[in-house]
Each structure stands twice: as C-alpha cells, then as structure tokens.
C-alpha cells in the first residue's frame, strides 16, 4: 500500500497527539508536518517548496487562518494548487460540508467520536484517497 506524505493542520494539541498516534500506528501515512493553523501551514509551505506533501488534512475551525482560508490559499497558489486539501471536522452539517467542497476541498471527513478512535479513521481516510484517486 502506498504511503502518503501528509501535513496535518489542527489547533488542539491533545487532538494532535492522538492523531499522530493513529497515523503513525497505521503506517499508511508519513506525517511531513503538524501545524496549528493556516498561517503555520502557509509559512511552512513557503519554506518547503521542494518538499510538498501528497495531501493536506486540515481542521476547519481554528484561530487565525481557518480551514476555509486554507482551501482558498492553496487553490489560488499555482505552486501548491495541485496538493489536495481534505477537511476534517466534528461537524456533520450538510451545508458546511457542501461549502467546503464547493470551495475546492478534495473531500470532507467527519472526525471520530473520540480521540481514541483514530485508527479506523486513518484506515478509512487512506481507502478514500485510493478509491477517489485524490492524489495524482
């Protein structure tokens, strides 16, 4: 199975920790960087033009640049616009999901019920990327 290079954007430190555990234990992803918000992501990308990830997984609601800002900035930057952005959030509200997709998100995945259930989440995410061929 292909291992994808991933950047995770999440402001909650606890969540970040459990996510890292989930991703690392699965072996399906290689975490390139974990960032706290859009500002951090843009800064990181600006400094690492040669090492772009296969995929960006971003929370939606964050202080500073949030998930929507990230979609817009990635889409509008010719260098990064090929990197798919998957939004992940606790909300399963249809209008929010639709808004993200219409703005250009590659997909939207609802976060697991608790932090402790990240392993099935990561597996599901990998299957999704494969099935929909989100990474070109």
Partner 1 sequence: MTTNCNLLLQGITDGIVMLDVDGYISYSNPAVSAITGYSSDDLLNKHLTIFYSSSDESIKAEYELGISLKKGKFLSEGWRYRKDKSRFWCEMLLSPLYDEQKRHIGFSCILRDVTEKKKDEIELRQNEQRYRLMVQGVRDYAIFMLDTTGHIISWNEGAKRIKGWSANEIIGKHFSNFYTAEDLEDKKPERELRIAVSTGKYEEEGWRVKKDGSVFWANVVITALFNEQNKHIGFSKVTRDLSEKKESEEKLRQSEERYRSLVEQVTDYGIFMLDEKGKIISWNEGAKRIAGYEANEIIGKYFSIFYPDEDVLNGKPSYELKVAKAEGKYEEEGWRVKKDRTLFWSSVVITAVYNNDGIHIGFSKVTRDLTERKESEKALRESYQRYRELTEELRHTNAELSYANQELEQFTSIVSHDLQEPIRSIKSFLTLIDMKLGERENATLKTYIEKAINSANRMKQLIQNLLHYSQLSKGELMQQQMNVNDLINEALQNLKGSIENTKAQILVEADVQEIEGDRVQLVQLIQNLVSNALKFTDGDTPKITIQCKKERDEVKFSVTDNGIGIAESDLKKVFEIFKRLNTEKEYPGTGIGLSICKKIVDRHQGQIWPESKLGKGTTFHFTLKQENTARPLTQ
- Of 2-10, 45-53, 91-99, 100-108, the segment contacting partner 1 by CB under 8 A is 91-99
Please identify which residue in 3, 76, 82, 93 interacts with partner 1, judged by CB under 8 A: 93
Beta bridge partners, 57, equal 8, 86
Backbone angles phi, psi at 135, to 5 degrees: -100, 120
Q: Which residue has the tokens 């234990």?
A: 25
Size of the site for partner 1 (CB under 8 A): 19
Please identify which residue in 115, 119, 130, 134 interacts with partner 1, judged by CB under 8 A: 115
Restricting to residues 50-89, name those near partner 1 by CB under 8 A: 60-61, 89
Beta bridge partners, 35, equal 9
| Residue 45 Cα distances to 38, 82, 115, 131, angstroms | 10, 13, 27, 27
Restricting to residues 6-35, name those near partner 1 by CB under 8 A: 12, 14-15, 18
When asked if residue 119 is in the footprint of partner 1 (CB under 8 A), the reply is no
Element (DSSP H or E) covering residue 32: strand 29-35
Q: Which is nearer to partner 1, 54 or 89 (CB)?
A: 89
What whole-number distance in Å separates Cα of residue 136 and Cα of residue 1?
15
- Residues near partner 1, by CB under 8 A: 12, 14-15, 18, 60-61, 89-96, 111, 113-116
């Amino acid at each position: 199975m292909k291992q994808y290079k991933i950047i995770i954007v999440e402001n909650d430190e606890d969540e970040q920790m459990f996510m890292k555990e989930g991703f690392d234990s699965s072996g399906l992803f290689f975490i390139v960087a974990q960032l706290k918000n859009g500002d951090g992501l843009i800064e990181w990308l600006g400094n690492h033009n040669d090492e772009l990830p296969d995929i960006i997984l971003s929370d939606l609601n964050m202080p500073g640049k949030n998930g929507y800002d990230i979609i817009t900035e990635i889409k509008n930057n010719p260098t990064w616009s090929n990197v798919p952005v998957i939004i992940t959030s606790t909300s399963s509200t249809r209008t929010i999901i639709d808004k993200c997709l219409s703005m250009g998100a590659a997909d939207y995945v609802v976060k697991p019920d608790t932090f402790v259930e990240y392993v099935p989440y990561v597996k599901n995410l990998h299957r999704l990327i494969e099935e929909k061929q989100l990474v070109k």
